[in-house]
């Protein structure tokens, strides 16, 4: 049997983040000012974000250096381990090879600190003393509470009410690190008060909590707004995951033909998959250029240090040689909030209260309130513009699953590999189990890599409900989506967007 765990030394923590904007076949369309319909500029965003992050948001550089104080904090848990899921493979009886990158080893229990630490660093560096944010499942809030503590910032968290009630210990965690946490919709903001007046029983949503946090930050000079997903710079920060995974897959002597992640706003999925997509795009480019030249190489040469530039050029040719197959990238979402699989690509607000700029993305409409499924971090009406554009360009595919199926797969995973997945990450687990079963049925062997973005130690109430047979599957009627989409009818429309 080959190794189970592939680890890297601290010296292998990436020194740069990878910015996929430099390599996308079609750039993401600009974010618009809702008043003027014009693209927003750095000055529009300056009240909310540190300038360093605004510049990263629009940067076209492929690589952005990671400041040393951030890498120093990363040392607390990075590089994270990559596992070969031998026991899961045996349990499934699959001939496919399954690998997972485990981000649950961070102090907060998920991938979220990868960007929280970076954001807290830049807020502090610019001289602000406080951050405001929203949190769904509590993973993001925990991450920012931790990062704020490490850089000496105050932190206020608007926590989606249903999660606040379902996950009291996430709140304890944030408070232990010194953050102030309120259930959203709250009485602390105009946005929260008006939703409470109209819907006293609102379970809350990420869209509502974002409105509250943005209003809080916009109203105070000492405060920056901090978002745990969706924005370009957040996705870029997460690419430490995929860069490490590339090196670890090389250690394992394999290369994935399927890369899988769950999608809420898209950050853990992007973090794992973008460095692999970089290789796919580069290889496709080289293949296309050789075709232009009317020739096909019979010798492909590259230098090898860690091997990534060599892999970038040669793997697409190798894949043609071995199987004629392309690397496939799969995004997994809940049927209760099917942003990529059922939402149109449109301009929409990032929040319910219409305080944010207009974002080009797949969306279910900014006043869509998803059913209170246990994967709180996937209950977001929109999707990262970068992920949305890559879906339009056919580089990413999406599937949606019911929470009953997702928990069945999560329990199977826990009973073979030991780790209890966060309900969000369990969507990726389910996607992998399905892909392996499909491959076996087709008589194929695949090499599958997925992101186990967090552990579920604070989600055991959801596992209790599943084990007691009390988990409800929520069907989402077309009429509800149509109703929610009416809210964006009058907004500007993106250019066709398809390559
Ligand atoms: C463990 C975990 N995975 C995934 C997500 C979804 O967010 P994103 O799509 O930004 O990774 C969350 C969000 O809270 C989460 O806590």
What is the per-residue pLDDT for 324? 38
> Whose C-alpha lies nearest to ligand 1, atom 12?
377
Strands (E), 335-441: 345-349, 358-362, 397-401
Pairing of strands 97-102, 82-84: antiparallel
* Dihedral-angle region of residue 273 (phi above 0 means left; psi in -120 to 50 means alpha; beta otherwise): alpha
Counting ligand 1 atoms within 8 A of each CB, the residue from 110, 162, 166, 450 with the most, and so the one to mutate, is 110
pLDDT band at 498 (very low <50, low <70, confident <90, very high): very low
What is the per-residue pLDDT for 323? 42
What is the per-residue pLDDT for 350? 94
Counting ligand 1 atoms within 8 A of each CB, the residue from 424, 426, 428 with the most, and so the one to mutate, is 424
For ligand 1, residues with CB inside 6 Å are 110, 136-137, 139-140, 229, 262-269, 377-378, 422, 424-425, 453-454
Stretch 181-189: mean pLDDT = 98
C-alpha 20, offset from chain centre:
14
- Is residue 244's pLDDT more than 70? yes
C-alpha 492, offset from chain centre:
26
What is the per-residue pLDDT for 305? 60
- Ligand 1 nearest atom to the CA of residue 230, by list position: 10
What is the per-residue pLDDT for 166? 82
In whole angstroms, what is the distance from residue 367 CA to residue 353 CA? 8
Query: Within 10 Å of residue 18's Cβ, how many Cβ atoms?
Result: 25
Counting ligand 1 atoms within 8 A of each CB, the residue from 103, 239, 378, 430 with the most, and so the one to mutate, is 378
Q: What is the 3-state secondary structure (H, E, C) of 171-191?
A: HHHHHHCCCEEEEECCCCCHH
Both tokens of residue 44?
Answer: 């529009």
What is the per-residue pLDDT for 296? 77
Sign of the torsion angle spanned by Cα atoms 62, 380, 207, 106: negative
- Is residue 325's pLDDT more than 50? no
For 77-81, 196-200, 322-326, 435-439, which range has the lowest pLDDT when averaged over its residues? 322-326
At 421-467, the pLDDT tens digits run 999 999 999 999 999 999 999 999 999 999 999 999 999 999 999 99
Q: Do 228 and 140 meet the contact criterion of CB atoms below 8 Å apart?
A: yes
Stretch 273-287: mean pLDDT = 86
Place of tokens 């931790």: 146
At 46-59, the pLDDT tens digits run 999 999 999 999 99
DSSP, collapsed to helix, strand or coil, labels residue 447 as strand
Q: Do 404 and 375 meet the contact criterion of CB atoms below 8 Å apart?
A: no
- Ligand 1 nearest atom to the CA of residue 238, by list position: 11
> Whose C-alpha lies nearest to ligand 1, atom 1?
454
Q: Do 156 and 131 meet the contact criterion of CB atoms below 8 Å apart?
A: yes
| DSSP 8-class letter at 458 | T
Counting ligand 1 atoms within 8 A of each CB, the residue from 102, 104, 105, 112 with the most, and so the one to mutate, is 112
Q: What is the mean pLDDT of the chain?
A: 93
- Is residue 298's pLDDT more than 80? no
- Ligand 1: centre distance to CA 444 (Å): 31
The pTM score is 0.93
At 265-275, the pLDDT tens digits run 999 999 999 99
> Whose C-alpha lies nearest to ligand 1, atom 6?
264
* Dihedral-angle region of residue 14 (phi above 0 means left; psi in -120 to 50 means alpha; beta otherwise): beta
pLDDT band at 144 (very low <50, low <70, confident <90, very high): very high
- Ligand 1 nearest atom to the CA of residue 140, by list position: 14
Burial 326-351 (b: 16+ CB within 10 A, else e): ebbbbbbbbbbbbbbbbbebbbbbbb
As a residue count, the chain comes to 499
Residue, of 316 and 465, whose pLDDT is higher: 465
């Amino acid at each position: 049997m080959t190794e189970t765990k592939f680890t890297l030394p601290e010296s292998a923590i990436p020194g740069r983040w990878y910015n996929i904007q430099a390599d996308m076949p079609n750039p993401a369309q600009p974010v618009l000012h809702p008043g003027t319909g014009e693209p927003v500029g750095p000055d529009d965003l300056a009240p909310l974000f540190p300038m360093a992050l605004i510049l990263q948001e629009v940067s076209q550089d492929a690589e952005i250096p990671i400041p040393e104080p951030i890498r120093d904090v990363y040392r607390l848990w990075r590089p994270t381990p990559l596992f070969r899921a031998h026991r899961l493979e045996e349990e499934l009886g699959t001939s496919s090879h399954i690998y997972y990158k485990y981000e649950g080893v961070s102090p907060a229990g998920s991938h979220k600190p990868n960007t929280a630490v970076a954001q807290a660093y830049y807020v502090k560096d610019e001289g602000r003393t406080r951050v405001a944010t929203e949190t769904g499942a509590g993973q993001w809030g925990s991450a920012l509470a931790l990062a704020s503590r490490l850089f000496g910032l105050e932190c206020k968290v608007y926590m989606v009410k249903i999660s606040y009630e379902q996950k009291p210990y996430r709140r304890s965690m944030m408070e232990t690190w010194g953050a102030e946490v309120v259930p959203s919709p709250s009485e602390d903001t105009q946005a929260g008060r008006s939703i409470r007046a109209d819907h006293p029983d609102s379970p809350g949503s990420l869209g509502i909590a974002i409105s509250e946090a943005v209003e809080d930050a916009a109203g105070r000079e000492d405060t920056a707004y901090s978002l745990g997903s969706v924005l370009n710079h957040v996705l870029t920060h997460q690419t430490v995951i995929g860069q490490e995974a590339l090196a670890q897959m090389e250690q394992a002597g394999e290369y994935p033909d399927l890369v899988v992640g769950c999608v809420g706003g898209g950050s853990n999925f992007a973090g794992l998959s973008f460095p692999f997509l970089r290789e796919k795009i580069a290889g496709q480019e080289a293949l296309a250029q050789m075709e232009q030249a009317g020739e096909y190489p019979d010798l492909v040469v590259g230098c090898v240090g860690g091997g990534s530039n060599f892999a970038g050029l040669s793997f697409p040719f190798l894949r043609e040689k071995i199987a004629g197959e392309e690397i496939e990238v799969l995004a997994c979402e809940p049927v209760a909030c099917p942003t990529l699989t059922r939402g149109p690509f449109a301009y929409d607000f990032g929040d319910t209260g219409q305080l944010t700029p207009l974002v080009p993305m797949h969306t279910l409409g900014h006043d869509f309130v998803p059913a209170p499924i246990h994967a709180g971090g996937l209950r977001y009406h929109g999707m990262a513009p970068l992920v949305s554009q890559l879906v339009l360009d056919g580089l990413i595919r999406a599937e949606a699953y019911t929470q009953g199926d997702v928990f069945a797969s999560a329990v199977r995973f826990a009973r073979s590999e030991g780790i209890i997945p966060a309900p969000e990450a369990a969507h990726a687990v389910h996607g992998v189990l399905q892909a392996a079963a499909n491959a076996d049925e087709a008589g194929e062997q695949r090499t599958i890599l997925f992101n186990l973005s967090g552990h579920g130690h604070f989600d055991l109430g959801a596992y209790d409900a599943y084990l007691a047979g009390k988990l409800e599957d929520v069907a989402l009627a077309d009429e509800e989506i149509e109703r929610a989409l009416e809210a964006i009818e009058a907004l500007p429309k993106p250019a066709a967007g398809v390559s």
